[in-house]
Structure 1
Amino acid sequence: MLSFRAQISWWDYFLAFLAGLVSVFAFAPFAWWPLAFLTPAVFFWLNLKPLLRGQRLRLAWVFGLGLFAGGAHWIYFSIHYFGGANVFLATTMVAAFVVLIALMLMLFGLIVSFFPYQASWVKLLPVFPAAWSITEWFRGWFLTGFPWLQLGHTQTDTFLASYAPIFGSLGVSWLVALGAGALVLILIGERLQKIYAVALIALLFAGGYGLSFINWTQPVGEKLFVSLIQANIPQEEKWLPEFRNQHIQKHIDMMEPRITSSHLIIWPETAIFDTFQQSMDDVVKPLQESFNAAETDLLMGGFQYEQSTDNMYNAIMSVRDLDVYGKRHLVPFSEYTPFLEYLRWLESFIILPYENVAPWKGKVNLQVAGQPMRMSVCYEDAYGEEMITGLPEATMLVNVSNDGWFTGSIEPAQHAQIARFRAIETGRYLLRATNNGISAIINEKGKIVVTGPQYQEVVVEEFAQPMQGSTPYIRWGNWFLIPILTIALVVVGWLGRGKFR
């Protein structure tokens, strides 16, 4: 009787883990983007073996362990240095997070287990890339989602990024996975298959080169001179009441010379650490008078409290008209903790939030500097399909963030790379103001127009062009790519019933 168990060894699992771990170097800040093709290629090659379903699930999980251990370990910085957890507890929590997130990659193993007999070229080209993209899509929304470390994000500076206005970052992930499958075919395929695989990779990049010349959106109105205030407030001081006035004054001092020369000034997330209502008399109203006189707009991060619902929101306020946007997609166990009232006993080990922040249900666009702009707070800009809400009406994207929770880690560079994809997908400039970096003005092609160094006080400023029109991705989001890939898998499975043995 044929046994599949002899087809996989501990070495295979180790190789899958190592491939996942090395994948991290394809992402910012390292940005060795060819690894985004090479490491999945190793993983795909391992999956060509005749394996039992359980073995495929474990293989995918082990790859995920390497990927997220290397690429998402930065949550340790938040839990230990700013959450107050000791080294053992913080390490345990990070390990649990990595184990659980990696479980989502088991969907890849489950999908490909339904294609045990297809020829290698069928697995490498139609099946594995589609399964990979569907798995990334699932990971982006299941249990509120974690769309970090998508393969497509590695391609911000290659021609493959030019596909993002059509298919989004998930579509670019599919193309990268397709290229990875082609690499394996170059190594193991027959002569004609090798030629086709080389031609496929060349075609992917040639197509991206051609698409790079297409302008999906068009300028509207005059350019705006924008100033982003990066005050570099130390995270350990940010929430201390005794520093409140000092920190606010620092933002004011940095922006004051620019009130008459800028069309728009943006403060980062929670630049005011209390509510706008509490700061109305001593901060908001005086600033409103100054900006009304100068006919300049100011966006600043803080907290919005609604007495009618007793809800607190992580928010952005347009100071001139006191209009507010609140964060819609919250971070579990950071901005809200399920059953918080029953977990207070944990405060002897780790700092818990005083109260939960509520998800915003209101509008997503604010009218500033004469333009409707799509607001987002912190890691909301990681969710491409959510960011197209409010478009094409919005002519610019604005993100305020505070990656100070992960000071010294690779997270801020990863976050900035993800943000660039939102600009590419929507054909809009993205204005990104952060507390200590990476603040940047990003154009509609995802290129950084101007940025500032991390962990320094700096005002990042330059002209930004409002844009109008719709990219294909604005119109259909992920609801074009994912159904097509699903249908393709069904068709391949139906046509390949025993035919590719």
Structure 2
Amino acid sequence: MPFAVILVPAFLAIFYGIGTLILKKFVSKKISFILFFSLLLSILEFIRGNILSGFPWNLIAYSWSWSLEIIQVISIIGTYSLNLISLTIFSLPFILFVKTKYNKKYWFFSFLLILFAINYLYGFKVLSQPREKNIEEHDFVIKIISPNIDLKEFLKSENNDVIIKKLIELSNPQADQKTIFIWPEGMFPSIYLSEIKKYHKIFSEAFSNLHLIILGINNLEYQNNVESVYNSLAIVDNNLNLISSYKKNKLVPFGEFLPMEKYFQKIGLKKITHGYKSFSKGKQRNVININNKFYNIKLLPLICYEIIYPGKINIKKQNVDLIMNISEDGWFGNSIGPYQHFNKAIYRAIEEGNYIARSANNGISAFINPNGRILQKIKLNDAGTIVASLPKYKNKTIFSKYGNKIFAIIIILYILLIFYFKKVEKNEEKKLSFYK
């Protein structure tokens, strides 16, 4: 654990180190430098979020998480684009030191403030229109379970029965009510999906054929005599028959897999999560389509920090009724981590224009609407259940259609602006040298 805590931040710091070295070569008291500074850092943060496994944690754009009005624009331009614009806005005090004509400073400063005001008014207008009003709802309910079970309890296999009973107690199944239960990630770390049938009796007595249970469990598979373990999400019925499953394809470095594992294992290092062997990576994320006599719904599965990737959670741009995010946030300990993790879900809801059901153990569970409003929430370190109806709402956002291509367009606009201001600044310098 201490090794990962040191190495991961050290790796992430490389990007800011590179940025600082480049900026040192071009630093100047000019408007073009403000734009160049913003552009360079935003591109480096994009690379940080995508290179290798990617880790877009705590982008500058997340500093707006206190204002839903300001971040509504990400449904159009996405988080990376807001990141770029935010860097420019936060750099405005530098304009006091810019050496150019006062009217140009004033114009640049005023333009950004007007842009910011327009963005806020847009967000205010979007939020003033009740999204859930007069929208038909699905004929089932969703129950999001937040058990708040200490991580140490999962280390003892004899605790499985106790954990299951607590989850069922919080679920409070009603036999005659169609319900989708969403349990957190990793609720059965000591058994594999293929072994879950041993709990058939407990489940069949508690649940009815009107129920679906979504849960996090490890999946063991053999291919060509090679053993692979996957961090998985499974959807089962009351008899523990497997309806569908998903294998996590964005794994946490050092948390779920050990980079260069064969070398690190020689010195006794292992991944942080339960078990010695690294998890294998799932190949793709497909929408889970459940279509039977009781349910007709399309679900997009996300496990843990897969929720943090702007523009990469639904790459195939498939229609979705609900994004479900299951997580185990106990690894953060008593820190700001669970709050930061939860905020990423709000941003993804706005970007994708979808409802998100988030079930977290030792974290914040919630039901979030497509505007990022928290309709219901269970606080950190609380156990409880969210009961929610799911509106039949499907309205793709501009960002959900085009993704991070929009960020590429804004990069081009910034480059053009940099060249424009460079030209203006060069002409000013020529005039000054002429009068001298």
Structural mapping, 1:19-418, within 5 Å:
79=1, 90=2, 93-109=4-20, 112=23, 115-116=26-27, 120-124=30-34, 126-158=35-67, 159-185=69-95, 191-192=102-103, 193-194=105-106, 196-214=108-126, 222=138, 224-258=140-174, 260-261=176-177, 263-273=179-189, 274-283=191-200, 287=203, 291=207, 293=209, 295-308=210-223, 310-320=227-237, 321-347=242-268, 353-368=275-290, 369-418=295-344
Supply the AA of the counterpart residue of 1:433.
Answer: S
Q: Give the direction of change, closer, same or farther, for the CA distance of 1:322–1:258 in structure 2 (3 Å limit).
A: same
TM norm structure 2: 0.83
Partner AA of 2:281 in structure 1: P
Partners of 1:105 and 1:348 in 2: CA distance:
28
| Matching residue of 1:14 | none
SS of 1:364's partner is: coil
Query: 2:433 is matched with which residue?
Result: none
Deviation at 1:272, TM superposition (A): 1.8
**TM-superposed deviation, 1:493:** 4.6
Q: Distance in 1 between matches of 2:310 and 2:39?
A: 19
Number of aligned positions between the proteins: 408
Letter in 2 for 1:135: L
Return the offset for 1:469: 2.9
Q: What SS does structure 1 have at the residue aligned with 2:52?
A: helix
Deviation readout 1:392-419 (Å, 9 max, x if unpaired): 4112110000001112111000000111
> Do 2:323 and 2:355's aligned partners in 1 also have CA atoms closer than 8 Å?
yes
Q: Distance in 2 between matches of 1:297 and 1:233?
A: 22
Matches within 5 A, 1:455-474: 455-474=381-400
Kept in 1: contact 2:257–2:271 (CA 8 A): no
RMSD: 3.0
Q: Which runs of 5+ in 1 are unaligned?
A: 1-78, 80-89
Distance 1:347 1:241, change over 3 A: farther
Secondary structure in structure 2 of the residue aligned to 1:277: helix
Deviates more, 1:326-335 or 1:106-115: 106-115
> TM-score, normalising length from structure 1?
0.73
Shift of 1:315: 0.9
Give the distance between the partners of 1:212 and 1:433, measured in 2 at CA: 29
d(CA) in 2 for partners of 1:429 and 1:176? 26
Q: Contact 1:130 / 1:486 at 8 angstroms: preserved in 2?
A: no
Q: Which has the higher helix share?
A: 1
Q: Percent identity?
A: 22
Distance 2:42 2:317 in 1: 24
Q: Relative to structure 1, is the Cα distance of residues 259 and 201 closer, same or farther in structure 2, using a 3 angstrom cutoff?
A: farther
Equivalents in 1 of 2:188, 2:86: separation in Å?
A: 41
**Cα deviations by residue, 1:7-48 (Å, 9 ceiling, x for unpaired):** xxxxxxxxxxxxxxxxxxxxxxxxxxxxxxxxxxxxxxxxxx
Match for 1:430 among 356, 368, 373? Answer: 356
Cα distance in structure 2, aligned partners of 1:305 and 1:337: 18
Segments of structure 2 that go 5 or more residues without pairing to the other structure are: 430-436
Structure 1 residues 304 and 390, CA gap change in structure 2 (3 angstroms): farther
